[in-house]
């Protein structure tokens, strides 16, 4: 789908850049990418059936299994090929692997959720959700992150109440009213000079703004953008605290948005599993935000 990536406030994580590769005598550059998956790969997984060579006329790919949740991809491309073009070609291959082999989590040092091809994948999945229930998808993401939003806004979490409202009706005006009021409490503070904040307030405020707007006008771009910013906030916070992000809340959020989209598209309603996943996530996030290290980081915001 067509999407203007420059049309939004740039409160997002830095997108990936292509690392230095190893040039050879033929004018090609070899670059290795370590890839981690969201779940363990099947025992004895064979990759011979993949036609990766058909994905790009300028770049070749070689994929190998390194471990239960680890792959390695070798990319070969002309030395004169610009970095952004390399990244675009490789992103197509990574998405192919994500959809044909196993859902990916990290590609090199970058979470796959931050790469443009996976942003397109997110929007395409959201488009498959019937318009009549689509706003439920972004409310689920906002509710999962509500304990963090409430903590930064210095108010008590109302996640359980919001879940009950969502179950009654995804179109309840109480949802938009609550999150709009929460957004107003997320004004960006001036830096004190004592330490550099993570800019969580800016990221979270953008997430709520676009989420509420998208729930109102049905914009796929807006609600997808909102969930990407919620992921960014969780990932940045966990990484800043030295938390192992594999197995952390940001990884769970990367699973949840996808599973929610698939469920809503298939059943056209909020299944018990979707509700239970959000409730469990909220409980974990409340516990995470109550930790001394998280409290210190959030007070600096």
Pairwise CA distance, residues 216 & 135, whole Å: 8
Reported as a single tens digit per residue, the pLDDT across 160-210 is 999 999 999 999 999 999 999 999 998 765 454 444 556 889 999 999 999
Indicate the pLDDT class of residue 38, thresholds 50, 70 and 90: very high
Grouping H, G, I as helix, E, B as strand and the rest as coil, residue 159 is helix
Pairwise CA distance, residues 277 & 95, whole Å: 25
Contact 169, 274 (CB under 8 A): no
Grouping H, G, I as helix, E, B as strand and the rest as coil, residue 37 is strand
Reported as a single tens digit per residue, the pLDDT across 109-164 is 999 988 889 999 999 999 999 999 999 999 999 999 999 999 999 999 999 999 99
Pairwise CA distance, residues 226 & 170, whole Å: 17
Contact 39, 103 (CB under 8 A): yes
Query: pTM value?
Result: 0.88
Q: Is pLDDT larger for residue 179 or for residue 46?
A: 179
Residue 297 has pLDDT above 50, yes or no: yes
């Amino acid at each position: 789908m067509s999407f203007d990536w420059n049309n939004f406030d740039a409160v997002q994580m830095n997108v990936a850049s292509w690392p230095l590769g190893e040039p050879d005598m033929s004018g090609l550059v070899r670059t290795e990418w370590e890839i981690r998956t969201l779940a363990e790969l099947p025992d004895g997984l064979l990759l011979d059936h993949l036609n990766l060579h058909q994905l790009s006329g300028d770049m070749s790919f070689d994929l190998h299994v390194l471990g239960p949740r680890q792959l390695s991809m070798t990319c070969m491309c002309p030395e004169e090929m610009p970095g952004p073009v390399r990244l675009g070609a490789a992103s197509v291959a990574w998405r192919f692997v994500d959809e044909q082999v196993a859902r990916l989590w990290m590609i090199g040092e970058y979470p796959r959720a931050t790469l443009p091809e996976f942003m397109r994948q997110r929007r395409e999945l959201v488009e498959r959700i019937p318009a009549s229930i689509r706003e439920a998808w972004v409310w689920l993401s906002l509710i999962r992150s509500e304990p963090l939003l409430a903590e930064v806004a210095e108010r008590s979490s109302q996640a359980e109440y919001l879940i009950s409202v969502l179950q009654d009706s995804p179109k309840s005006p109480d949802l938009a009213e609550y999150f709009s009021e929460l957004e107003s409490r997320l004004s960006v503070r001036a830096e004190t000079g004592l330490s550099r904040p993570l800019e969580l307030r800016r990221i979270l405020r953008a997430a709520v703004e676009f989420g509420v707007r998208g729930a109102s006008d049905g914009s796929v771009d807006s609600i997808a953008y909102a969930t990407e910013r919620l992921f960014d906030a969780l990932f940045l916070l966990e990484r800043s605290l030295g938390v192992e992000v594999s197995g952390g809340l940001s990884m769970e959020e990367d699973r949840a948005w996808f599973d929610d989209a698939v469920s809503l598209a298939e059943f056209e309603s909020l299944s018990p599993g979707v509700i239970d996943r959000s409730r469990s996530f909220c409980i974990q996030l409340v516990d995470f935000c109550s930790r001394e290290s998280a409290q210190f980081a959030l007070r600096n915001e």
